[in-house]
Amino acid sequence: MAVNLKRSSGGQGSVKVSRRRMLGWLSGVGLVGSGVLSAISNFVFIKPRATYGQPQRFSIGKPEDYPSGTRMALDARRICVVREGNKLAAVSTTCTHLGCIVGISDTGYACPCHGSRFDQDGNVTGGPAPRPLPWYKVTLAPNGELEVDKDIEIQPGSYLTL
Amino acid sequence: MSPKTSKPTLWSTLKDMPMNVWRSIFRNPLPSNDLERSSTSFTNFFLHIHPVKVHKHSLKPSYTLGLGLISFFLFVILVVTGILLMFYYVPSTTQAYDRMLDLRGSVAFGMFLRNMHRWSAHGMVAVVFMHMCRVFFTGSYKKPREFNWVLGVILFLLTLFMSFTGYLLPWDQLAFWAITVGTAIAGYAPIVGKDIQFLLMGGTSVGQEALLRFYVLHVAVLPAVLVLFIAFHFWRIRKDGGLSRPEDADRIPAMEMAEEGVKPEPKRTYGLQGLVRGPLHKVGNVPDNTVFSWPHLFRAELFVFVVTLAVILVIALLFNAPLEEPVNVMHPPNPAKAPWYFLGLQEMVSYSAFWGGIGVPGLFVVMLLAVPYLDRGTAGVGRWFAKERLLANTIFLTFVIVNVVFVIIGTFFRGPNWAFVTPW
């Protein structure tokens, strides 16, 4: 546009035309711009700022609740608590494929939706799952209760030693 | 009216009132000649989207199978029954399922309307797909109808989205796990996938927000878009010169005339209505292959509508729409199966989430959209399975069969944990 303005600054008539064109361009940019802005603001509107969900960090009771050899699925929390001797861990039961809850099977975990299978440590042994089941950090709180934090994934195989 | 009665008395005004009201709405008497037949098509709001005259070839049931009309009439049934169901439905995770039970137990015709709505929805998915096959196998997507094919593909996708957002609303087991899986598939889309998943679910997990969002999509957003595209689709049919037909469909009468030694009359008058119809159509006594829409087209449409409605009524009387157990967020049903038309997709997803859910379906859609711009040959338009289109038809038929096979595998050959089973 700037080039146009310079070139046409010589004659009286062409100055008029280029001003008109300039205003036309500005109006066009303004209209399209406000259209884009309102479209974006619609998306900002429907993207919730606060979500209603379960807390990601929660208590799962005392270590005594899980005797050695336990593999107990807490479906409401979507984790499975595993204890071997004095080692304890929390494995996710949300299938890494498409989010169904995996069930405990003889060899590990099996997903009813699309047939993914995992071993006891959550490694993929079959089906379409792209990643192993994550392990979550478990800590022993001062009040003697176990606390799981689903925001912190840890290396599979790293147990909490009681 | 004679000049004597030119000053109406109160009595005559009242006496003529019903007739005057009638004539102010319907400007024409029931047509008894060609002019009135044209006028009726033109001046009636509900008829004027039709042409005044329609090609005989377009009226052949064996050519169109009436599939486009059936799709539209199923949509009309869905709108009516859907609005009625809205009077009782509440999009709340605690109430939705109970409302389904209320429909069955305490609402007059509640179950019946839900059956009609469900079976019409299944029917619409099937018929829209068959309509697409018809258009392909008759080569009807070719110039000048390329863009209307594109609109049709969009309508097919919208139909699938409508049905997907619809079967979530009862908030039964199928609903919950379908929403979980469906939004997770969206999450596999490149770059924006996770954002789309978050927007659809209204949070990080499937719950009340997700149900409300899918409800709004189902009853407001998608129907509005669908109506817009249907109107666009219909308008393009008119502007693209009506339904596709073979080249020789127009030539026959001219050849017959030549054989009979009849000269076309040189003097032609073009009436306004003739011009609107299209400059290629002559007004006059030249024989052509068109007939008046009143009554031929309208009678055919009424017939298709009545049959469609009757079939849906009978099916709704005989079969109840499925309703699974109430939502149990802890235990997906095993196996967790989508409705039949998504089982092909579910089967593909069970090999790979990205390729089965995003990659291959996305490729299919892109290919469908590109078909009329890739296949530029003009031969074989307007005939089923034309020899000239053997290659294109074979490719398309292969895709159709592959999809059907996947649906059959997903429906009959998958058992608990999606393991391969034999149905017998």
Q: What is the pLDDT of residues A73-118, one digit of tens each?
A: 888 888 999 888 888 899 999 888 888 888 888 888 988 888 889 9
- The pLDDT of residue B279 is 46
Length of chain B: 424
Same domain, A73 and A99: yes
The CA–CA distances, whole Å, from B140 to B131, B171, B248, B375, B378 equal: 11, 41, 15, 12, 10
Give the Cα separation of B285 and B266 in Å (integer).
11
How many whole angstroms from its chain centre is CA A124?
A: 20
Measured CA angle at B193 (ends B190, B194), to 5 deg: 130
Asked if A76 and B330 come within 8 Å (Cβ–Cβ), the reply is yes
- The pLDDT of residue B271 is 55
The residue among B342, B350, B351 with the most chain A CBs within 10 A of its CB, best to mutate, is B350
Residue carrying the six token digits 């005259």 = B53
Residue carrying the six token digits 């079939």 = B311
The residue ranges of every structural domain in chain B are 62-241+292-338
Give the Cα separation of B274 and B108 in Å (integer).
51
The CA–CA distances, whole Å, from B126 to B10, B70, B71, B159, B405 equal: 59, 11, 9, 10, 15
Q: Find, in chain A, the residue whose alpha carbon is nearest to that of B350.
A: A114
Of the partner residues B329, B334, B350, the one whose CB lies closest to the CB of residue A128: B350
C-alpha distance across the termini of chain B, in Å:
81
- The pLDDT of residue B313 is 96
- DSSP category for residue A112: T
Domain B62-241+292-338: give its CATH code. Answer: 1.20.810.10
User: Taking chain B (424 residues) in consecutive chunks of 10 residues, what is each chunk's mean pLDDT?
Assistant: 66 92 87 88 87 90 94 97 96 93 92 96 96 94 93 96 91 87 87 89 87 95 97 94 82 53 50 51 62 90 96 96 85 80 86 86 93 89 89 92 90 83 80
Asked if A128 and B333 come within 8 Å (Cβ–Cβ), the reply is no
Same domain, A149 and A76: yes
Same domain, A116 and A138: yes
CATH number of the CATH domain containing A84: 2.102.10.10
Q: Which of residues 94-153 of A touch B (CB under 8 A)?
A: 97-101, 103, 110-115, 117, 127-128, 130
Tokens linked to A125: 């042994």
For residue A90, list its beta bridge partners: A81, A136
Helix (H) or strand (E) holding A79: strand A79-84
Q: Find, in chain A, the residue whose alpha carbon is nearest to that of B334.
A: A112
Q: Which of residues 32-91 of A touch B (CB under 8 A)?
A: 43, 46-48, 51-54, 75-76
Same domain, A92 and A12: no
Same domain, A61 and A41: no
Judge whether A15 and A9 are in contact, CB under 8 Å. yes
What secondary structure, in 3-state letters, does chain B show? CCHHHHCCCHHHHHHHHHHHHHHHHCCCCCCCCHHHHHHHHHHCCCCCCCCCEEEHHHHCHHHHCCHHHHHHHHHHHHHHHHHHHHCCCCCCCCCHHHHHHHHHHCCCCHHHHHHHHHHHHHHHHHHHHHHHHHHHHCCCCCCCCHHHHHHHHHHHHHHHHHHHHHCCCCCEHHHHHHHHHHHHHHHCCCCCHHHHHHHHHCCCCCCHHHHHHHHHHHHHHHHHHHHHHHHHHHHHHHHCCCCCCCCHHHHHHHHHHHHHCCCCCCCCCCCHHHHHHCCCCCCCCCCCCEEEHHHHHHHHHHHHHHHHHHHHHHHHHHCCCCCCCECCCCCCCCCCCCCHHHHHHHHHHCCCHHHHHHHHHHHHHHHHHHHHHHCCCCCCCCCCCCHHHHHHHHHHHHHHHHHHHHHHHHHHCECHHHCECCCC
- The pLDDT of residue B259 is 54
The residue among A52, A72, A98 with the most chain B CBs within 10 A of its CB, best to mutate, is A98
Same domain, A155 and A97: yes
B201: distance to nearest CA of chain A, Å? 10
Q: A30 — contact with chain B (CB < 8 Å)?
A: no
- The pLDDT of residue B251 is 60
Same domain, A70 and A144: yes
Give the Cα separation of B142 and B147 in Å (integer).
9
Could you tell me the strand order of the sheet in which A108-110 lies?
A103-105, A108-110, A117-119, A124-126
Chain B residues in contact with chain A using a Cβ-Cβ cutoff of 8 Å? 177, 180-181, 183-185, 195, 198-199, 202-205, 207-209, 213, 329-336, 346, 349-354, 356-357, 416-419
For residue A52, being part of any structural domain is answered with no
Chain B residues closer than 8 Å to A53 by CB:
203-205, 207
Give the Cα separation of B182 and B176 in Å (integer).
10
* B143 Rama sector, left if φ>0, alpha if ψ -120 to 50, beta otherwise: beta
B155: distance to nearest CA of chain A, Å? 23
Q: What is chain B's alpha carbon radius of gyration, rounded to the nearest angstrom?
A: 26
ipTM of the complex: 0.76
Give the Cα separation of B17 and B257 in Å (integer).
51
For residue A51, being part of any structural domain is answered with no
Count of domains in chain A? 2
Count of Cβ atoms closer than 10 Å to residue A117 Cβ: 19
For residue A114, being part of any structural domain is answered with yes
Tokens linked to A148: 């799981």
Judge whether B152 and B113 are in contact, CB under 8 Å. no
How many whole angstroms from its chain centre is CA A15?
A: 57
Chain A residues closer than 8 Å to B417 by CB:
110-112, 115, 117
- Domain with A31, as residue range(s), is 2-46
Beta-carbon contacts of B89 under 8 Å, excluding residues fewer than 6 positions away, are B96, B99, B169
- DSSP category for residue A147: E
